[in-house]
Amino acid sequence: GTNGIRLTMESALTARDRVGVQDFVLLENFTSEAAFIENLRKRFKENLIYTYIGSVLVSVNPYKDLEIYSKQNMERYRGVSFYEVSPHLYAIADNSYRSLRTERKDQCILISGESGAGKTEATKKILQYYAVTCPASQQVETVKDRLLQSNPVLEAFGNAKTLRNDNSSRFGKYMDVQFDYRGAPVGGHILNYLLEKSRVVHQNHGERNFHIFYQLLEGGEEDLLRRLGLEKSPQQYQYLVKGHCARVSSINDKNDWKIVRRALSIISFNDNEVEDLLSIVASVLHLGNVQFAADEQGDAQVTTENQIKYLARLLAVEGSVLRDALIHKKIIAKGEELISPLNLEQAAYARDALAKAIYGRTFSWLVNKVNKSLAYKEGEFPGWRSTTVLGLLDIYGFEVFQHNSFEQFCINYCNEKLQQLFIELTLKSEQEEYESEGIAWEPVQYFNNKIICDLVESKFKGIISILDEECLRPGDATDTTFLEKLEENVKNHPHFLTHKLADQKTRKSLGREEFRLLHYAGEVTYSVAG
């Protein structure tokens, strides 16, 4: 029945819109991957980047600006039946909004895809759609502004240039937008997860640290930089040059700084708070330039007094306290406090750990501050008891680099879980419904990736459990003993491989301190070093 209706509706669309099929449900050869890709390609050539699979939208990154996000376009999708107009993000946004209004049920839009597929941009486009099409009032305007402006701020602190993408999200974000009984946005809340803190102290070749550092140096006023003890050149800072590409032609840091600075004011940061925030950003850069030399005993001593002076001022701590913290280890044993000196390697590690912790906490504080400005204020909006919520999930994408470590493992595991949810919500539940209604159909075979999720997360025998255990056990636990434990415990798993477990041919491509996971999206080789 629905297909019949869809076909009638589709005949009203222009010829261009009808290149290929605009809903994969209508694809004749529906089990063929080649036919699927060919349909995407045909449409993509005509700049049609959106195609449905039923109520799921597939979007292909065009890597250019398409004129399909104007207010005029938004109006085309407002309150219109899903299949009446050509596939678009706005149709998904409008559909969710209408379900929220008519059924008074909370809604959620999940956005998944590999790194660089366009997830973050899609989130922004959906928010813009609501900002333009939802009922407005003076107070609502403030909320809309803050919802939109939270993006550039969180991106400055949580996104970075990677090899895959100039603006790659290095944290996961779940954003709730609250709507009142009239359907106007009246508040919001952001949950952030797992910021990639290792980026603060190290970047792979061709990658950068988080945007904010470069924006501050390129765009900050001279007086401000002087107060922070910073120089305009990112090349001066150890933490900004690890990837050998501090400046990128496709990124305008100076301009982005202006946008971020304005956004901070909109989400109710006063000048003092902005300065406090930037003092902490600056302190991370100074920390990276702290250097050590060994004395006769081989113990580390700080050789860069200037940095300590700035750090003491920016972090409001005594210089001597800070210096001691960087070159000593405190151990509490049997109620006694033992202080022992660190060697060069340990001191560098302690410095980096401090920088990561400071940045990580600052990011969480920032999200909290954004949430306070988005918080729904009862007094401003009477009739508050009837708010409904629409959630937007923008999670980091699946990624494979030359060198993949714990961060990539977490990011890809996160994607694996999201994929599992998609399989549950679409293929599995849909077919179970057919079955319960006794509809005759040819079952669609699909790969259920629960087996990969279990490999990572199952209690006692999953990779994370084994890692936890190895970190806690007494004796000499190292990266290598962890790998050996993995080999013992998960050696028979079809999605797990190591040098030792592989056959002659595969062995050549696996180092001795690596393991390989066959993810849903492809295989990734992880290094256990560090």
116 catalytic per annotation: yes
Of the candidates 115, 150, 159, 192, the residue annotated as catalytic is 115
Interior angle at CA 166, CA 418 and CA 287, nearest 5: 95
179, two tokens: 């709507």
The verdict on whether 283 is a catalytic residue reads no
In this structure, are 389 and 520 located in the same domain? no
- Averaged pLDDT, 124-142: 92
At 509, the pLDDT band (50, 70, 90 cuts) reads very high
Same domain? For 388 and 468 the reply is: no
Same domain, 467 and 390: no
What pLDDT does residue 12 have?
47
Q: Are residues 387 and 454 in the same domain?
A: no
Catalytic residue, candidates 39, 95, 96, 169: 169
Average pLDDT, the chain: 91
pLDDT, mean of residues 245-269: 96
Question: Residue 115, annotated ligand binder?
Answer: yes
Q: CB of 355 within 8 A of CB of 280?
A: no
Classify residue 265: in a domain, yes or no.
no
Considering the domain architecture, whether residues 449 and 514 belong to the same structural domain is answered as yes
Task: Give the helix ranges, DSSP H, for 242-343.
Answer: 253-266, 271-288, 305-315, 319-327
- 387 annotated as ligand-binding: no
Provide the number of structural domains found in the chain: 2
Statement: residue 24 has pLDDT above 70: yes
Q: Is 397 a residue of the active site?
A: yes
Does pLDDT of 474 surpass 90? no
144 is in an annotated binding site: no
Residue 8: pLDDT band with limits 50, 70, 90? very low
Is position 298 within any domain? no
Which tokens sit at 250?
């496709």
509 catalytic per annotation: no
Q: State yes or no: pLDDT of 13 exceeds 80.
A: no
In a domain, 225, yes or no: no
Q: Residue 168 catalytic?
A: yes
Catalytic-role residue among 39, 51, 168, 362: 168
Q: What is the per-residue pLDDT across 85-119, written as a single tens digit (0 to 9) for each?
A: 999 999 999 999 999 999 999 999 999 888 899 99
Which candidate in 188, 219, 243, 397 is catalytic?
397
Domain end residue (candidates: 394, 427, 456): 394
C-alpha span between 349 and 355 (Å, rounded): 10
Question: Is there a domain that residue 92 lies in?
Answer: yes
Query: What is the arithmetic mean of pLDDT over 17-41?
Result: 90
495, exposed or middle or buried, with CB in 10 Å at 0-12, 13-18, 19+? middle
Query: Of the ranges 149-158, 257-266, 382-391, 505-514, which one carries the lowest mean pLDDT score?
Result: 382-391
188 is in an annotated binding site: no
Instruction: Give me the mean pLDDT over the 468-477 stretch.
Output: 90
Which residue is catalytic, options 165, 404, 449, 498?
A: 165
Active site residue 112: no
d(CA 68, CA 89): 10
Q: Which amino acid, 264?
A: L
Question: Domain span at residue 161?
Answer: 3-198+383-394
pTM for the whole structure: 0.89
In a domain, 324, yes or no: no
Residue (of 126, 243, 140) closest to 183 by Cα position: 140
Same domain, 8 and 37: yes
* Mean pLDDT within 386-399: 89
Listed residues 394, 419, 446: the one ending a domain: 394
- Residue 442 sits in a domain whose CATH number is 1.20.58.530
Task: Please tell me whether 116 is known to bind a ligand.
Answer: yes
Residues 142 and 13 in one domain: yes
**Active-site annotation holder among 86, 95, 96, 120:** 120
Detail the DSSP E strand segments found in 67-219. Answer: 107-111, 159-160, 168-169, 172-179, 185-193
Residues 446 and 510 in one domain: yes
The reported pLDDT for the residue numbered 246 is 92
Whether the Cβ atoms of residue 499 and residue 512 lie closer than 8 Å to each other = yes
In a domain, 364, yes or no: no
pLDDT at 447: 85
389 with 505, same domain?
no
Based on the residue annotation, tell me whether 183 is a catalytic residue of this protein: no
399 is catalytic: yes
Residue 156 pLDDT exceeds 60: yes
How far, in Å, are 233, 250, 427 from residue 224 at the CA level?
Answer: 15, 26, 55
Residue 492 has pLDDT above 50, yes or no: yes
